[in-house]
Amino acid sequence: MDTATTQDHHLNRLGPDSDLAHIRADFTRFMMEYKFGMDEIETKIMILQEEFTHLHDYNPIEHVLTRLKTPESILEKVRRRGLDPSFEAIRDNITDIAGVRVACSFVRDVYSVYDMLASQPDIEVLQVKDYIENPKPNGYRSLHALVRVPVHLSDRIVPVTVELQFRTVAMDFWASTEHKIFYKYREAVPEDLLQQLRDAAQTAADLDERMGRLHLRTHGDFVGSRREGGPADEVVRQLHELRESRVNNRFV
C-alpha cells in the first residue's frame, strides 16, 4: 500500500478554486498525522524514561517537551519561502512541523539517549546536526536530528518527519534565555548583549564538562547499572520456588 501518495493527490487542492470544506478537512488530517508522529516519538522517549526510573540507578532524561506548529505558522512559512501551497510541497520542504525536545543531565547522556532512540528499527534517521561538537557562532549548542516514524492510521501507514533536539539542562536554560532576549528586542539585540550571550554559552559548556566529569567519577557509566526494587521479596521468593519445583518435577 502506498503510504502517502494517494493522500497527497487529494491534498494538493489548495488552489484558489478549491472547496473550503475540503481544504479544512485535508488540513485537519494533515496536522493530525504530524501530531500522531510527535506522539509516537514522545511515547518512545517516555518508555525509556520509565525504564530507567524503575530498573536503573540513574535516569538520564530530565524532561521532554513537544511542539506542533500551528496552521497559521505553517502558512506563513509557505509564503515566506515561496513554496507551492500543496501539502505534498509542505511535507517535502518544511521539516519542523512536529518537534520533540529532550533535556538530559549531562552531555554524554545526550548522545546515549539519541543512540537508544535512533537504533529502534521503526525509526529512520534522515539528518543529524551536532551543534554540541560544532556550536553555532552565537554559542547555541544542541544535537538536532530529523527522523521519520510510521504512523498507523485506520486505512494506511503514513511516514511522518519529526524534528528532535537533545540538549543538557544548561544548554536548554541558555537557549530559553537567548530566545526571550531576541523576542524582547525583536531580533535587534545590542552587540554587548550578544557578547554576553556568547560568554554565557561558554560558561554553560564549561559547567557541562565539569559536572559530567564529577558524575562519571562518582557514579560511573549508567548504562547497565541496575536498580534494586521491583516486586516484594516474598513474591520473588515464591516465583523462584515455583521455578525450582518445575525443574525438579521434570526430572522425577
Q: What are phi and psi of 222, to 5 degrees?
A: -75, -25
Three-state secondary structure call for residue 98: strand
98, β-bridge pairs: 68
Buried b (16+ CB within 10 A) or exposed e, 117-137: beeeeebeeeeeebbbeebee
The catalytically annotated residue of 42, 163, 191, 241 is 163
Which positions ≥6 away from 196 have C-beta within 8 Å? none
- Give the torsion sign (CA, 108, 114, 115, 117): positive
Helix and strand element counts for the chain (H, E): 8, 5
d(C-alpha 161, C-alpha 40), whole Å? 11
In the structure grid, which three cell numbers stand for residue 26, read together?
485535508
Give catalytic status of residue 187 as yes or no. Answer: no
Residues with a catalytic annotation lie at: 163
